[in-house]
Amino acid sequence: MKRIGMLTSGGDCQALNATMRGVVKGLYGLFKEVEIYGFLEGYKGLIYGNYQKLSADDFSGILTKGGTILGSSRTPFKELDIPTPDGLDKVKSMKETYKKLKLDCLVVLGGNGSQKTANRLSEEGLNVVGLPKTIDNDVWGTDMTFGFQSAVDIATSAIDCIHTTACSHGRVFIVEVMGHKVGWITLHAGIASGADVILIPEIPYDIKKVCDALQNRTKAGKGFSILAVAEGAISKEVAKLPKKERKQAIADAAAKYPSVAYEVADKIKQYSGMDIRVTVPGHTQRGGSPCPYDRVISSRFGAKAAELIKKEDFGKLVVMKNNKVTAIPLSESAGKLKYVSADDDIVKNAKLLGISFGD
């Protein structure tokens, strides 16, 4: 009998259920008898021993279902050693739940922070396998996370819809795309939807350059423009401030504007007089059914996790490398983010096509 715990942690995404289904189908393919314990609302469920015993049937029919049947919540890694409001030692409680249920392995579907915690639990002696979840595609060590392509599809559709109305009315539009720290979704959705300007956190912008790009389009007879702006886009002036001042400047802007896109719109208006409209698809980017690409990789990731459990190859994060599903030590990925680099081919390609990054 194999006793497997599973949880989904952090911001949700489209293929969490598809991935869990993959894990469970793989386990039933490899073991005669399996017991699955699904912890509710992420690590919280493991801390408080809040779980459901699940059967294969519970994972049937969920390949296309968005969200997570287990629920999710954020348990920030930096607060792991701070007791819960009711005084529980989080790590100790998680270990106790694991031991009480006599688990053979804990499967963690989560992004960077959640995998850091998974690595900590692995260091504390638990058998852990991680699966790289996030729409942001910023988990270090994998070319692809599940959820990313589905979010890119939604952001692209949003920009496509804005494109037609912008064209009819000869307007300039900003579509704000998710990604506070990294710009992968904005970069991909921006290219996929033919955006004219892409602003991402990793490539700080100069508002004069952004306005130049927009004015050049007007001079070239283009009546409208589309900017894909990441929610963490940052100006060159703010990016070069020392950490404390930078944080303050970001906080001041957050107090003044509903979000970064409105700040950029205001700056463009002040600098060039252009009238800008803003659209924020927000959490729609994390919702709905996973796209076929995500259904495929999450099923493959799930199967790989089951294989690792069969081989008792624990302390690993399932990853995609050069189109192969493989695994790396959790410790190798923990604490690192996969950023866009201005030197990446994809950025160079986009620039060659005339997309401005405002840099």
Residues noted as catalytic: 136
Assess 134 for contact with ligand F6P (CB under 6 A): yes
**Cα–Cα distance for residue pair 147/287, rounded to 1 Å:** 10
Give the number of residues in contact with ligand F6P, rule: CB under 6 A. 10
Q: For 85-142, give the secondary structure using H, E and C.
A: CCCCCHHHHHHHHHHHCCCCEEEEEECHHHHHHHHHHHHCCCCEEEEEECCCCCECCC
Assess 115 for contact with ligand F6P (CB under 6 A): no
Region of 34-42, 56-64, 134-142, 157-165 interacting with ligand F6P (CB under 6 A): 134-142
Confirm if 261 and 280 have CB atoms less than 8 A apart: yes
In three-state secondary structure terms, 319 is strand
Task: Give the distance from CA 345 to its chain's centroid.
Answer: 21
Handedness of CA 181, 190, 139, 287 (dihedral sign): positive
- Among 21, 44, 267, 286, indicate the residue that binds ligand F6P (CB under 6 A): 286
Binding pattern for the stretch 201-240 against ligand F6P, x by CB under 6 A and - elsewhere: ------------------------------x---------
State the nearest-atom distance from the C-beta of 214 to ligand F6P, in Å: 26
Compare residues 127 and 145 and give the one whose CB is closer to ligand F6P: 145
State the nearest-atom distance from the C-beta of 151 to ligand F6P, in Å: 8
Binding pattern for the stretch 333-352 against ligand F6P, x by CB under 6 A and - elsewhere: --------------------
Assess 180 for contact with ligand F6P (CB under 6 A): yes
Region of 20-28, 40-48, 174-182, 287-295 interacting with ligand F6P (CB under 6 A): 174-182
Confirm if 79 and 117 have CB atoms less than 8 A apart: no
Q: For 155-220, give the secondary structure using H, E and C.
A: HHHHHHHHHHHHHHHCCEEEEEECCCCCCHHHHHHHHHCCCCEEEECCECECHHHHHHHHHHHHHC
Region of 16-24, 43-51, 177-185, 252-260 interacting with ligand F6P (CB under 6 A): 177-185
Region of 116-124, 172-180, 188-196, 259-267 interacting with ligand F6P (CB under 6 A): 172-180
Q: Which residues bind ligand F6P (CB under 6 A)?
A: 11, 111, 134-136, 178-180, 231, 286
